[in-house]
A and B are shown apart, each in its own frame.
Chain A
Amino acid sequence: MLKDGSGKRLAPAVGDAFALRPARVHEATGRGRRAFALFQAARHPGPLIWVLPAYLPELPMPWGLPKGVSARLHLLRPAGETDLLWCVEEALRAAPTGLVIAEPQQPLSLLAGRRLQLAAEAGRTTGLMLIRQDAGSNATETRWACEPQASPASDSTLHHWSLNKNKQGTLGHWVLNWDGASTAFHMVSETGERYQPAEPPL
């Protein structure tokens, strides 16, 4: 843990705040969890696997996905929860996948969570579970709560992402402007500070 002279904890550098630790399984919850998953998908190279139950009406819309994601995306639509977990484990265990995203509909047990972590370690693959409220397992590496936020400006799409659980680091929450088209994003300071003066000095 980094500490400055006064012993206060320093927030991690902004650039890699959203980098998921590799070869681990993470969780995201909240209304903006799919946006968070796509944000991560755009930042992970290699084939992407998205496991979602066949009865779920929501489908990823390829025209709205970040650039280059839809060509790499493989959609698995298993019929039941057991098949879903099996698919996730198998995909995590396989080496070539870049990121495995899954939407389990039932609470993840500690057993299931631990098995997924072991599979992710074996295959050196990162996993991201999009869980419902309070349906996560304790074995997760990090848990993110993601909510879209109304933005004052018409051309910004604000997201409020908070890191609620972190096994090997600090917690935190960020408001950022990400338009859902590329990997680029802008941090929005909570207090509204500007990084440069409003008008250039004459």
Chain B
Amino acid sequence: MAALARGLSRGMALADARAICPDLATRPADLAAEAAALASLRRWAARYAPMVGTDGPDGLIADISGVPHLFGGEADLRDDLQARLERAGLTAVSAIAGTRGAAHALARHGGGIVPDGHLGDGIGSLPITALRVDQETAEALSRVGLSRIADLIPLPRAPLARRFGTGLVLRLDQALGAQSEPVAATAEPPHFGVRMTLPEPIGLQSDVMAGLARLLDRLCHKLALHNMGARRLRLDLRRVDRGTTQVEIGLARPMRDPMRIAALFTKGVDEVDAGFGIDALRLSAPITEPLAPEQVGSHISLHLSEQRGGGPALRHEDALADLLSSLGNRIGFDRVLRLLPADSLIPERSFLLAPAAYSSAEPMPPRGGPNRPITLFPPEPVTEASGHPPRRFRWRRMRFTTHSAKGPERITPDWWLDDPAWRSGLRDYWRIETEQGPRLWLFVTPQDAAGQNWYVQGEFA
């Protein structure tokens, strides 16, 4: 507002704005954050009307038919809205009109209220750009001397449509109410959270688990309705003294089976300090993923449950996912890993350690060439190496004598990646069988300026 008063306007070049107002504070636009703020404002605005939708990147539109008398009239409603927004620190312009187009036009040109039946008078003095027509049409109209909406209203429609397109006529009709334009409220994304308040505080672990089981039933039913599965679940426990404790679990794959999820909560609930008692529980699923309905009860599950002497019939992969969940919840999901092939010839980068919860198994593609060792470790230099390949050497305080050597296999570094470990240039890999038994993977760096050194990087079966 202060900027508008100093003569700045929207869409102005930054250099011009700086010239007018040298001490201007500028910030790059964060469109995502703005959209999120508008979405939360839209949720709040639902207190004024059942149907609230966004109107462009910077506006909200609400259908307040039948609502104003609850606030004591349209003027009181608008004052209430403005006062609350002002208290929240937001500068906003609002308008109430009989049609969506008129309200849109008026809100962007000063705001106000258009009484019923006076739409033409109310918005007639506004410029034509307020009608949501494109810049070209507005310019063409101003060239023939039509600059305000009131100039358009008495004109015959047919020539207007023929000359400037039907879009202009449609917008005009929408603003004047000849053409209906409903307010479509944006569909709310489903909220996966359930709560429960208790008449008497509880403190026993079994009671909390029983309450959790009821919440889980409701939450999982809701997840099933939307074909979703939870990846993280958070249980907030409110104590009588208003303190809250949280129990959070992660799941190795999306899931909505109450029994199996409850089992994962057992350990966390065990550690909760109940204080003088817990009188409210809240269960939410902050992270969810799509989970298609599955057929339950295959013959594997029957077989398993027979083998285990009854119990819940779990499918094989489900049981493995449960195991990975419980392991991940204790040692961290980044420590439960899977080996995945990677597209590189460099031994260290030829495979990936991916979290098992967020990846699926892939078989190794077939490869030719020399065998690879079964274990790989960062290169360790050998000492007292003599010969090429070394006839005898020391490694890890052990003496080795070469029995046979197979090689070399030359591996060149990726020139497009600057890997500090590969600064010594290309490597010649040898498979060295020692008299002492171990079969080692040694390499030498022929391009190393510091001299040719031998390193051990792996051990064969």
Residue positions of A touching B, CB distance < 8 A: 31-32, 34-35, 38-39, 47, 54, 57-65, 68, 70-79, 83, 86-87, 90-91, 94-97, 124, 147-151, 154, 157, 159-160, 178-181
Asked if A76 and B304 make an inter-chain contact with CB atoms under 8 angstroms apart, the answer reads no
Instruction: Return chain B residues, CB-CB under 8 Å to A58.
Output: 375-377, 459
Stretch in B105-113, B366-374, B419-427 with 4+ CB within 8 Å of A: B366-374
Known A-B contacts A34-B374, A60-B374; A68 and B437 likewise in contact (beta carbons under 8 Å):
no
Chain A: which residue is nearest B308 at the CB level?
A: A95
Q: Are B433 and A150 in contact (CB under 8 A)?
A: yes
Q: Say how far A75's CB is from chain B's closest CB, in angstroms.
A: 4
Residue B356 at the chain A interface, CB threshold 8 Å? yes
Q: What residues on B are CB-neighbors of A63 within 8 Å?
A: 341, 350-351, 364, 367, 372
By beta carbon, the residue of chain B nearest A152 is: B403
Instruction: Check A178–B461 contact: CB distance below 8 A.
Output: yes
- Contact of A57 with B377 in the complex, beta carbons under 8 Å: yes
**B341 contact set on A, CB distance < 8 A:** 62-63, 70
**In whole angstroms, how far apart are the Cα atoms of A34 and B338 in the complex?**
18
Tell whether B362 is near chain A: CB-to-CB under 8 Å.
Answer: yes
Bound CA–CA A96/B252 (angstroms): 15
Decide if A35 touches B461 in the complex (CB within 8 Å).
yes
Q: Which of B10-18, B39-47, B130-138, B329-337 contacts A (4 or more CB under 8 A)?
A: B329-337
Using a CB–CB cutoff of 8 Å, the interface residues on chain B facing chain A are 304, 307-308, 314, 316-317, 319-320, 322-324, 326-327, 330-331, 335-341, 347, 350-351, 353, 356, 361-364, 367, 371-378, 403-404, 406, 433-439, 458-461
Q: Flag if A150 contacts B375 (CB, 8 Å).
A: no
Q: Could you list 27 examples of A-B contacts with CB < 8 Å?
A: A34-B374, A34-B375, A34-B459, A34-B461, A59-B377, A60-B374, A61-B351, A62-B340, A63-B350, A63-B364, A65-B364, A70-B363, A74-B338, A75-B337, A75-B338, A75-B353, A77-B335, A90-B323, A90-B326, A90-B330, A94-B323, A96-B320, A147-B437, A150-B435, A150-B436, A157-B460, A180-B461
- Chain B binding site: helix, strand, loop or mixed by DSSP? mixed
Find chain B residues with CB under 8 A from A178 CB.
Answer: 461
Q: Are B335 and A180 in contact (CB under 8 A)?
A: no
Contact partners of B340 in chain A: CB under 8 A: 62
Inter-chain contact B372/A83, CB cutoff 8 Å: no
Given contacts A58-B459, A74-B336, A95-B314, 16 further A-B contacts (CB under 8 A): A35-B461, A38-B461, A60-B376, A63-B372, A64-B376, A64-B461, A70-B339, A71-B363, A73-B338, A75-B337, A78-B335, A96-B316, A96-B317, A148-B439, A150-B433, A157-B461
Q: Are A76 and B374 in contact, with the CB atoms below 8 A?
A: no
| Partner among B323, B330, B460 whose Cβ is within 8 Å of the Cβ of A180 | B460
Task: Name the contact of B375 in the complex, choosing from A60, A90, A97, A179 (C-beta under 8 A).
Answer: A60
A181 to B372, CA, bound (A): 10
With both beta carbons as reference points, the residue of chain B lying nearest to A153 in the complex is identified as B404
Residues of A within 8 A of B367 (CB): 63
CA distance A96 to B303 in the complex (A): 12
A148-B374 contact in complex given A63-B367, A95-B319, C-beta closer than 8 Å = no
A70 CA / B317 CA spacing, docked (Å)? 17
Q: In the bound complex, how far is the Cα of B441 from the Cα of A63, in angstroms? A: 14
A154 close to B363 (CB less than 8 A) = no
Interface centre among A35, A71, A97 (most CB of B within 10 A): A71
Tell me the nearest residue of chain A to B352, going by C-beta.
A62
Q: How far is the CA of A72 from the CA of B360 in the complex (A)?
A: 10
CA A198 – CA B372 in complex, angstroms? 33
| Closest-CB distance, B337 to chain A (whole angstroms) | 4
Known contacts A78-B335, A83-B331, A96-B316; is A71 also within 8 Å of B361 by CB?
yes
Q: Which residues of A sit under 8 angstroms from B437, Cβ to Cβ?
A: 31-32, 147-150, 160
- Write the nearest CB–CB distance from B133 to chain A, whole angstroms: 61
B374 interface neighbour in A47, A61, A78, A79, Cβ under 8 Å: A61
A2 CB to closest chain B CB (Å) equals 30
Contact partner, B376, options A61, A75, A83, Cβ 8 Å: A61
Minimum CB–CB distance from B406 to chain A (whole Å) comes to 8
CB-based contact B319/A94 at 8 Å: yes
Instruction: Name the contact of A150 in the complex, choosing from B335, B351, B362, B403 (C-beta under 8 A).
Output: B403
Write the nearest CB–CB distance from B304 to chain A, whole angstroms: 6
Closest to A95 in B: B319
CB distance from B438 to the nearest CB of A (A): 5
In the bound assembly, the distance between CA atoms of A149 and B372 in angstroms comes to 18
The answer for the CA separation of A39 and B461 in the assembled complex, in Å, is 9
Q: B460 to A64, Cβ gap below 8 A?
A: yes
Q: Please give me the residue from chain A that is nearest to B401 by CB atom.
A: A150
- Report Cα–Cα, A35/B439, bound state, in Å: 11
